Amino acid sequence: MDQTAFLIGFAIMSLASLAIYAKGSKAPPARHHTLLHAAVPFIAATAYLAMAFGIGTLVKGDGTATYLARYLDWSVTTPILLAGLVLTAFHERGRTGEVGGYLTSIIVLDVLMIVAGLVSSLAAAPVAKWVWYLWSCVAFVGVLYLLWGPLRATVAERGKPLAIAYGKNISFLTVIWFLYPIVFLVGPEGLKMISDPTSVWAILIMDVVAKVAYAFYAAANLDKALGEGPSRA
């Protein structure tokens, strides 16, 4: 267990949560995005603190570790990030049932993806491990389909500026999210091509990009689309 990496993750995520909220717009329609994106690193900071103290860390017989706090973090923070994208797509103009339907579908697929990844990490039998890994990837494809298909078509109806902002945001998030299953595949939970400390540092960097850098990037794109100016998030 690399406690230094976890403590650094806790510090970065804690400060980032405060920075995102401090810089973010407190006025509608961008206010809910500020609250959502500020909550994400705060939740991640909690998970990193738990991992730093070894809470929820399961070490299997082969010496590989599964960090339950990490999966719990992802099961909460990734739906929040997806909710922000859904809200951007509809921009508060969709019918409640329509918005709720997309939110439910994409969050169910997302959580299923994470749970399947956790089961794959815990599985002892190689066949079970790879079956659950592939099932997690299938759910991930479902999430991407909803983001790039129906939701992208929906936001196109809201006007070009918002469509451009949505396109930039899903492109950023898609690229960084694609790296997670790759690290899992080559890491100690998969093919064991890289060590646990290397995997921990790699995921820490990806978490900072996906939860912190993305928050500022997404806010800047939304600001431009809404014509609020660069100083508001």
Least confident of 44-53, 96-105, 116-125, 218-227: 96-105
What is the per-residue pLDDT for 233?
Answer: 34
pTM of the complete model beyond 0.75: yes
What is the per-residue pLDDT for 228?
Answer: 46
Residue 169, SS3?
helix
Residue 76 has pLDDT above 60, yes or no: yes
Q: Where are the domains of the chain?
A: 3-226
pLDDT category of residue 232 using cuts at 50, 70 and 90: very low
Q: Which of 215, 192, 211 is nearest to 203 (CA)?
A: 211
Tens-place pLDDT, residues 1-14: 679 999 999 999 99
Give mean pLDDT, residues 38-52: 97
Q: What type of residue sits at position 195?
A: S
Residues in the chain, how many? 233
Q: Is 174:222 a contact under the CB 8 Å cutoff? A: no
pLDDT category of residue 222 using cuts at 50, 70 and 90: confident
Question: What is the C-alpha separation between 114 and 6, in angstroms, rounded?
Answer: 20
Provide the mean pLDDT of the chain.
90
DSSP state of 67: E
Tens-place pLDDT, residues 152-206: 998 887 778 889 999 999 999 999 999 999 999 999 989 999 999 999 999 999 9
Chain center to CA of 73: 9
Q: Is 103:150 a contact under the CB 8 Å cutoff? A: no
Pick the CATH number of 3-226 from 3.40.1280.10, 1.10.1760.20, 2.30.42.10, 1.20.1070.10: 1.20.1070.10
Question: What is the C-alpha separation between 216 and 222, in angstroms, rounded?
Answer: 10
